[in-house]
Amino acid sequence: MSIRRLPAELINRIAAGEVVERPASALKELVENSLDAGARTVAVRLHAGGLELIDVNDDGSGMAPEEMRLALERHATSKLPSDAIDRVTSFGFRGEALPSIASVSRLALESRTRGADGWRIEIDHGARVSESPAALPPGTRIRVEGLFDKVPARRKFLRSPRAEYAACLDAVKRLAMARSDVGFTLDHDGRRILSLQPTDAPSRVAELLSHELDRHGVGIDCARDGLRLTGVISLPTFNRGMADQQFLFVNSRPVKDRLLVGALRAAYRDLIARDRHPIAALFLEVPLEEVDVNVHPAKTEVRFRDPAAVRGLIVGGLRHSLDEESQRSGVRDQAAAPAIWTTSESYERDFEQERPFATVRETQASFTPVGFVPAARGERAVEPVPSYPLGVARGQVAATYIVAETEDGLVIVDQHAAHERLVLERMRAAREGGTVARQALLIPEVVELDEPDCDRLEGATGDLAEMGLDIERFGPTAVLVRAVPAALGKTDAGKLLADLAGEIAELGGPLSLRDKLDHVAATIACHGSVRAGRILSVAEMNALLREMEVTPRSGQCNHGRPTWVKLAHGDIEKLFGRK
Ligand SMILES: Nc1ncnc2c1ncn2[C@@H]1O[C@H](COP(=O)(O)OP(=O)(O)O)[C@@H](O)[C@H]1O
Ligand SMILES: [Mg+2]
């Protein structure tokens, strides 16, 4: 076997596999170059999710013809003037992106420095096709067409234009958050998607994240040992089925670093279900010598000199802010606490008038979240206990658990888990009976979502209608809700649709929903459920217990956990060493 040097074109193709794996990664490299060139505005145009065309236009420094030729050569960069790879502040520095992209596409590079004429170079899959003068304003414009068209191995891994577009949108959003001082536009298939004026970081983040964060977000600003963390995170109750709304930055560089993602997750431990994810935009500032950005070809991962300090700051800082927030709402609710204490007279009255389960739904709107205000009632257990399998409600603990007394012991019910199951079973029964009751909204609700989410929901309109959820596309980034399943009662349509879109994305193929109706129904059911943290009246608790007794599979919540546990008299006696 003989050793040979690989031809430059082949090296570029190999590198292309690392740096540009899909349109979104090529787009990211190009926009980063524009930002490094000092652009004040960056205009991006895409066709077919970037598969047909990626066009990035900036008003940055521009390049002279000789620089343009160099830029298309491998490992040619203007960004490491002193070879100081440990002090990089630019996005780029490896000099790989342009030659890599040019080796797997048809690329036209046009550029003009101030006070000089413009120049144009065309490359076809690594080979120079032409050079000529070009008319353009100062700055740089790069058009990339037919990315990977001639690289079948790569083409195979590309997804639909829709999916590639979603990834491109994500890439632009991340860079736009990193550089709020720069203006951005994004057009897809001739439609204006983003139009962002230069502003400050909080306003830019607010423009690009869920508007709901105004109400459901917590601002972050903390510092320790020369590290600083700022940004916004969602309250634990405002979460998503996908971790796609987490935007993390280190020294203004968007990253998807495992250490940071893990720290974010750890901060929410015990506050959020394992399969749910917070929304976050977090900016970490670290002294340059504390972080190495040259560990990943796409530079989305970084290495910290002191990972424990970074993790400590994030977990500690976020946790502290979340705790403070929960205390604040706790204090607010404390004022209302006397009203939720019930005397034994009202207990008896409620019990006699035990009403069907529908009351629970009707009164849901008036439930108030109460943080950790104790809500248990101390009842004298003097009345004979009727022989219901799940017993008679004696009180509520931590606004989350119903404690009931049975003939032979006591039962503790997880109210949210139980109710979620009941809603799912009701929906399932209705579907099987072909009579899904829907509740038309008097005024259809407009829910704003990003375009890929709207596409997902639109693609599932028929299946969702079968479950009683009537929606309609309403412009590129909004969906109209006309009716919701009656089993749901009052619900937050915005949150429901965002979760459903996440669910659909995770289940894959847009119209494979039919087989997965239960999944979707479970997501819907979760929204109609009595949340943990809601005070229930005794009548409501008893109604819940009675419905559980007659509902199949009510012993397990939709996630497979038990909805209730029982301690028989014998078990209690054992606990106290009486037996
Ligand atoms: N939009 C642009 N405006 C000005 N110069 C650019 C632009 N894009 C690329 N360049 C020049 O081309 C060089 C090579 O770019 P690239 O291959 O992305 O490598 P890197 O960004 O790692 O230096 C850059 O260092 C820069 O000098
Ligand atoms: Mg670059």
d(CA 355, CA 362): 12
CA of residue 33 to ligand 1 center, whole Å: 5
- In the three-class reduction of DSSP (H, G, I as helix; E, B as strand; rest coil), residue 381 is classed as coil
- Degrees (nearest 5) of the Cα angle 325, 331, 335? 150
- In the chain, the percentage of residues whose pLDDT exceeds 90 is 39
Q: For ligand 1, is residue 415 a contact (CB within 6 Å)?
A: no
Instruction: Please compute the mean of the pLDDT values over residues 119-138 and round it to a whole number.
Output: 95
297 pocket-lining for ligand 1 (C-beta < 6 Å):
no
Is the CB of 396 inside a 6 Å radius of any atom of ligand 1? Answer: no
pLDDT score for 119: 97
Mean pLDDT value across residues 311-330: 79
Counting ligands in written order, which one lies closest to the CA of residue 140? 1
Q: For a substitution probing ligand 1, which of 11, 33, 89 has the most ligand atoms within 8 Å of its CB? A: 33
Q: Would you say the CB of residue 60 lies under 6 angstroms from ligand 1?
A: yes
From residue 221, give the alpha-carbon distance in Å to each of 15, 201, 317, 570, 577. Answer: 39, 13, 8, 53, 51
- How far does residue 451's CA lie from ligand 2's centre (Å)? 28
Span of 225-229, 249-253, 362-366, 424-428 with lowest mean pLDDT: 362-366
Q: Is the CB of 97 under 6 A from ligand 1?
A: yes
Least distant ligand from the CA of 101:
1
Highest mean pLDDT among 37-51, 89-103, 497-511, 557-571: 37-51
Distance of alpha carbon 404 from alpha carbon 548, whole angstroms: 13
Please check the confidence at residue 373 and state whether its pLDDT lies above 80: no
Confidence of residue 318 (pLDDT cuts 50, 70, 90): very high
Average pLDDT over residues 438-449: 86
Q: Whose CA is nearest to atom 1 of ligand 1?
A: 34
363: pLDDT strictly greater than 70: no
Distance 382 CA to ligand 1 centre (A): 82
**pLDDT range class, residue 82, cuts 50, 70, 90:** low
User: To the nearest whole number, what is the mean pLDDT of the chain?
Assistant: 80
- Closest approach atom of ligand 1 to CA 99: 17
Ligand nearest to the CA of 76: 1
- Confidence band of 244 (pLDDT split at 50, 70, 90): confident
**Residue 123 CA to ligand 1 centre (angstroms):** 16
Is there a contact between 404 and 410 (Cβ–Cβ < 8 Å)? yes
Residue closest via CA to ligand 1's atom 7 equals: 33
Q: Which residue owns the Cα nearest ligand 1 atom 27?
A: 78
Sheet holding 564-568, edge to edge: 392-397, 401-406, 409-414, 564-568
Counting ligands in written order, the one closest to the CA of 70 is 1
Q: What is the pLDDT of residues 137-189, one digit of tens each?
A: 999 999 999 999 888 777 777 888 989 999 999 999 999 999 999 999 999 99
- pLDDT bin (cut points 50, 70, 90) of residue 516 is low
> Of all protein residues, whose CA lies closest to atom 8 belonging to ligand 1?
33
Q: Cβ(88) to ligand 1 under 6 A?
A: no
**Cα of 389 from ligand 2 centre, angstroms:** 68
- Cβ atoms of 226 and 280 within 8 Å: the answer is no
CB of 29 closer than 6 angstroms to any ligand 1 atom = yes
Residue 176 burial by Cβ neighbours in a 10 Å radius (0-12, 13-18, 19+): buried
pLDDT of 107 > 60? The answer is yes
Q: Which residues are CB-contacts of 242 (< 8 A; sequence separation ≥ 6)?
A: 277, 502, 505, 506
- Ligand 1 atom with minimal separation from the 100 CA: 17
Rounded to the nearest angstrom, the distance between the alpha carbon of 188 and the centre of ligand 2 is: 23
- C-beta of residue 177 within 8 angstroms of C-beta of residue 205: yes
Q: Which ligand is nearest to the CA of 97?
A: 1
Q: Whose CA is nearest to atom 25 of ligand 1?
A: 77
Instruction: Provide the β-strand partners of residue 107.
Output: 123, 144
Among all bound ligands, the one having the nearest atom to the CA of 73 is 1
Q: What local confidence, expressed as pLDDT, does residue 579 receive?
A: 67
Q: Tokens for 334?
A: 């404390």
In a mutational test of the pocket of ligand 1, which residue from 77, 114, 119, 136 has the highest number of ligand atoms less than 8 Å from its CB?
77
Q: For a pocket test of ligand 1, which of 28, 30, 34, 36 has the largest count of ligand atoms closer than 8 A to its C-beta?
A: 36
Please tell me the distance from the alpha carbon of residue 245 to that of residue 169, in angstroms, as a whole number. Answer: 12
Distance between Cα 255 and ligand 1 center (Å): 20
C-alpha 372 to ligand 1 mean position (Å) = 55
Q: What is the DSSP letter of 516?
A: G
Whether 63 lines ligand 1, by a CB cut-off of 6 Å, is yes
Of 275-279, 339-343, 430-434, 495-499, which range is least confident?
A: 339-343
CA of 288 to the centre of ligand 1 (A): 22
Ligand nearest to the CA of 142: 1
- Distance from Cα 145 to the centre of ligand 2, integer Å: 18
